[in-house]
């Protein structure tokens, strides 16, 4: 049996299709009695709106595209939860894609989501992204975009980030106050905004405490546990080991944590360790990891709200908004 349509409802109720359509949308011009009759029949016939037909008319769906580097990372999983909560309350659904830190895949998914007529995009850039032409193409087509966490100054769009600089500054300042002097930094990809601000926070904390910056104590890498392993192995080759390590994020810190233990070194007795993110695993390590907490769920909700505002207002005088959320240092046994 074919699914019921608005024309079927209209014919049965002896109403015009436009009246039925407005009743289903709770339009104020339609009487309460008519709405009740329409809704009752719609339920009886198991009527559901044809979203494909609607998207052909409006050239947009009630769907939001989300592109993240990795879904497996607890930080992004929490951000997605925040996005989904806000978007669902607004009557929209989401399609989530992961770039897997690959620029070409990010471009492919951007084009795919556009072909699915998404109403807007929420994006966190991959660590290999250099050009933003694929996102600028969307803007020329009138598709709203909001960036979160990993953003770029090379595009005019709303953005939601945490205060990476102050978070890093507080983490390294804590290490110095705890008595550590030779502090290394396992840094992220040079091109990423989060890496740049966390590196600057590290450098400025040293400067403010009259400690010299030593380039050999900074190891650049990626953002996964493997990068933490490789990064700390490079530090092991130094003539003098660092007495503390500030990692760009928790996964990198965990990779370093495992490597430190494997080499028979004690945390924090031989080397103190600080991460950034406060993932679920960080509190389960022995000793638990000192880390910088960032409000990932709130990042998702705020980014989604900025996007929904832009979609619903459809204002040609739109001015991008830049939201910076506070971080919080959580001191645990690793320092």
| Statement to judge: residues 202 and 263 lie in one domain | yes
**Any domain includes 332:** no
| Statement to judge: residues 289 and 173 lie in one domain | yes
**Any domain includes 110:** yes
Q: Which domain holds residue 308?
A: 58-162+296-325
**Any domain includes 333:** no
Nearest-angstrom CA–CA distance, 260 and 283: 17
Average pLDDT over residues 68-85: 93
Residue 59: the pLDDT is: 52
| pLDDT class of 297 with cuts at 50, 70, 90 | very high
Residue 299: the pLDDT is: 97
**Any domain includes 251:** yes
Nearest-angstrom CA–CA distance, 299 and 139: 22
| pLDDT class of 72 with cuts at 50, 70, 90 | confident
**Any domain includes 265:** yes
| Statement to judge: residues 101 and 28 lie in one domain | no
Tokens at residue 195, please?
């890496």
Nearest-angstrom CA–CA distance, 54 and 110: 22
| Statement to judge: residues 92 and 183 lie in one domain | no
**Any domain includes 331:** no
| Statement to judge: residues 174 and 247 lie in one domain | yes
**Any domain includes 330:** no
Residue 270: is its pLDDT beyond 90?
Answer: yes
Residue with more model confidence, 191 or 316: 191
| Statement to judge: residues 175 and 208 lie in one domain | yes
Average pLDDT over residues 68-89: 93
The most confident of 10-24, 35-49, 136-150, 255-269, by mean pLDDT? 255-269
Residue 50 contacts by C-beta under 8 Å, 6 or more apart in sequence? 5
| pLDDT class of 3 with cuts at 50, 70, 90 | confident
Nearest-angstrom CA–CA distance, 276 and 194: 11
> 263 with 59: CB under 8 angstroms?
no
Nearest-angstrom CA–CA distance, 256 and 244: 11
> 109 with 120: CB under 8 angstroms?
no
153-188: per-residue pLDDT in tens? 999 999 999 999 999 999 999 999 999 999 999 999
| Statement to judge: residues 286 and 173 lie in one domain | yes
Overall domain count for the chain:
3
| Statement to judge: residues 156 and 302 lie in one domain | yes
| Statement to judge: residues 261 and 312 lie in one domain | no
| Statement to judge: residues 154 and 218 lie in one domain | no
38-61: per-residue pLDDT in tens? 888 888 888 776 554 544 444 567
Residue with more model confidence, 73 or 50: 73
Nearest-angstrom CA–CA distance, 41 and 20: 11
**Any domain includes 271:** yes
Residue 87: is its pLDDT beyond 60?
Answer: yes
The CATH number of the domain where 245 resides is what? 3.40.50.2300
Residue 58: the pLDDT is: 46
C-alpha gyration radius of the chain: 25
Residue 228 contacts by C-beta under 8 Å, 6 or more apart in sequence? 186, 221, 247, 251, 252, 253, 254, 255, 256, 257, 258, 259
Residue 261: the pLDDT is: 96
Nearest-angstrom CA–CA distance, 168 and 187: 11
Cα 99 → chain centroid: 12
The most confident of 27-31, 51-55, 282-286, by mean pLDDT? 282-286
């Amino acid at each position: 049996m074919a699914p019921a349509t608005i024309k079927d409802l209209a014919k049965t109720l002896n109403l015009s299709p436009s009246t039925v359509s407005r009743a289903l949308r709770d339009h104020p011009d339609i009487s309460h009695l008519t709405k009740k009759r329409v809704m009752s029949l719609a339920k009886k016939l198991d009527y559901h709106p044809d979203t494909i037909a609607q998207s052909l008319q409006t050239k947009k769906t009630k769907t939001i595209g989300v592109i993240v580097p990795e879904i497996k990372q607890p930080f992004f999983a929490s951000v997605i939860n925040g996005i989904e909560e806000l978007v669902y309350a607004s009557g929209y659904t989401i399609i989530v894609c992961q770039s897997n830190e690959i620029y070409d895949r990010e471009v492919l998914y951007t084009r795919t989501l556009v072909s699915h007529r998404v109403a807007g995009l929420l994006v966190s850039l991959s660590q290999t992204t250099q050009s933003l032409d694929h996102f600028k193409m969307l803007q020329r087509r009138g598709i709203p975009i909001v960036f979160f966490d990993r953003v770029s100054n090379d595009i005019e769009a709303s953005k939601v980030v945490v205060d990476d600089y102050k978070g890093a500054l507080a983490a390294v300042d804590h290490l110095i106050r705890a008595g550590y002097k030779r502090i290394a930094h396992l840094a992220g990809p040079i091109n990423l905004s989060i890496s740049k601000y966390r590196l600057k926070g590290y450098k400025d904390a040293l400067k403010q405490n009259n400690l010299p910056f030593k380039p050999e104590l900074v190891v650049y890498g990626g953002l996964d546990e493997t990068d933490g392993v490789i990064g700390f192995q490079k530090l092991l080759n130094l003539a003098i080991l660092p007495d503390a390590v500030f990692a760009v994020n928790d996964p990198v810190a965990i990779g370093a944590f495992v490597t430190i233990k494997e080499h028979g070194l004690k945390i924090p007795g031989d080397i103190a360790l600080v991460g950034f993110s406060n993932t679920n695993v960080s509190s389960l390590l022995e000793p638990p990891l000192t880390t910088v907490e960032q409000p990932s769920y709130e990042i998702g909700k705020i980014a989604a709200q900025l996007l929904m505002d832009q979609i619903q207002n459809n204002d040609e005088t739109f001015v991008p908004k830049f939201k910076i959320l506070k971080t919080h240092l959580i001191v645990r046994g690793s320092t």
